[in-house]
Amino acid sequence: MKHRRLMIAGTVVCAALGLGFAAEQQQRPEKTAYRETVVSATPSRDGYADVVDRVAPAVVTIRSAKRVRAAQQFPFMDDPMLRQFFGNGGNGVSPRGRRGNGNGNGNNDRSQMEHALGSGVVVTADGYIVTNHHVVDGASEIKVDLNDGRTLDAKLIGSDAPSDLALLKINASSLPVLPLGDSDRVRVGDIALAVGNPLGIGETVTMGIISAKGRATGLSDGSFEDFLQTDAAINQGNSGGALINTHGELIGINSQILSPSGGNIGIGFAIPSNMAKNVMDQLRNGGKVHRGKLGVSIQDISPDLAASLNLKNTKGVVVTSVEPNSPAEKAGVKSGDVIVAVNGSRVDDANVLRNRIAAAGPNSDVTLGVDRDGQEHSYKAHLSELNVEDETASASGNQGRGGAGTRGQLGVSVEPLRPETAQDLGLKGNVKGVVVTDVDPSGPAAEAGIQQNDVIMEVNHTPVASGADIRSALAKSTGRPALLLVNREGHNIFVAVRPGSGQ
């Protein structure tokens, strides 16, 4: 597989901050009060100049700064790629040295100012501006360059890392506003314009189409992603800028690019406007975003896993574990269930389920469509509130690639899981099964992804405590891949593996 690198669409050198980005699907919003001063326009005979004239004043440049402790040495600065991100950057810091901050400490001062450059969108005439979280994360100073030439100080109202969105406020009035469009109605193939300040050269407009919807880049575990993908040119500095339709409506906040070099190759990602509206409304009203929690660990369904579960297709997500006393457990959801719908809307993968549950919000009721042993069931769950930091691992939908059994049929050696071994592996709770002590690199288990120290808890829904239990349970495969429930580093995953003929 060719190496690919996901780069953040911002000159902030966000690689230095080590951030991941995410977005959360929201349901279609009601009519919003943000439609204030801009009248929608249609493309003129010569292009989209009329649209750009109306929306460009509502797209601004965001400059933020934070004081960071400088490293004592810069051993990697001979790499031109690293110099691009961590070089002078306009702050006067030499790749191999430091400067004083003006307080008389000179070279003895190991702190320096790290500057970030991005874009933002004015959403209310009295000065509320939406941008990316990674543009302003940790900033001690934020300034906004308006289209009319003014530069104003901005106050951070709230910032939400899981969605990579932040809301700012400047002291101004009668500002031009970019009205929100309905991102749910965006179609693949629609024309899209990206507006922002790439590489600090000044406000720039590029054109493309919507290439895909519902994209997940997987930059961080537990993230909420539902990106619009576009081939409109997005480069570093476009972060937080506008993706608009031909009516001059905001349909997305530009956030990421996929690139092996850091430059645009026509694969950019924008946070849908419906999600942005939900997040910024919550930030404006309380400074924090609240999300619903179901209390399950989930994973997508591979073709082998579908065969093991006797499913007709790979749609839906399989529940690998259910948190005790959670909304899911109270509703009747069990490990091994396949969730295929939420409130009547089909669930195709783990990302869709996470987004729908999160968007529903705490203290809301959702109806889950569940496939259990080939029979359809319906369960109503009363959601609690998600603590994103605590739920990162369980929400990640870790993908199991396969499974194991005994050295003969599955190509692994196992031994009973003893309390002292469980303690050494850092396992918590009542984990029972056999621990994998060795994996044949050419066996079915290795091909499926089983690793040393994995704990096999079940084979074909049968609890196992020895190699003999595994051999007995494998007899139930009846031509299908064997279904294993595996605990890996404290998290349950289902794994499908096709046993060999060894004994």
- Per residue in 117-137, pLDDT (tens digit) is 899 999 999 999 999 998 998
The answer to whether 166 and 198 are in contact (CB under 8 A) is: no
Q: What is the pLDDT of residue 229?
A: 93
Among 137, 164, 304, 440, the one annotated catalytic = 164
CB atoms within 10 A of CB 432: 15
DSSP 8-state code for residue 83 = H
Q: How far is CA 151 from the centre of its chain?
A: 32
pLDDT of residue 110: 57
pLDDT confidence tier of residue 258, bands split at 50, 70 and 90: confident
**Set 163, 183, 239, 259: catalytic member:** 239
Catalytic residue among 134, 231, 259, 300: 134
Q: Locate tokens 């303690």: which residue?
A: 423
**Tens-place pLDDT, residues 182-215:** 999 999 999 999 999 888 888 899 999 999 998 8
Catalytic (active site) residue 159: no
Per-residue pLDDT at 304 exceeds 90: no
Q: How confident is the model at residue 85 (pLDDT cuts 50, 70, 90)?
A: very low
How many whole angstroms from its chain centre is CA 55? Answer: 28
Distance of CA 461 to the CA centre of its chain: 32
239 is catalytic: yes
134 has catalytic annotation: yes
Instruction: Give the domains, in start order, of the chain with CATH numbers.
Output: 6-60+175-286 (2.40.10.10), 61-119+135-154 (no CATH), 292-395 (2.30.42.10), 412-497 (2.30.42.10)
* Mean pLDDT score of the chain: 78
How buried is residue 65: exposed, middle or buried, by Cβ count under 10 Å (0-12/13-18/19+)? middle
Q: Which residues contact 131 (CB under 8 A, 6 or more apart)?
A: 62, 118, 119, 120, 121, 165, 166, 168, 239, 240, 253
The answer on pLDDT for 88 being more than 50 is: no
Q: Pick the range with the lowest mean pLDDT from 44-58, 353-367, 450-464.
A: 44-58
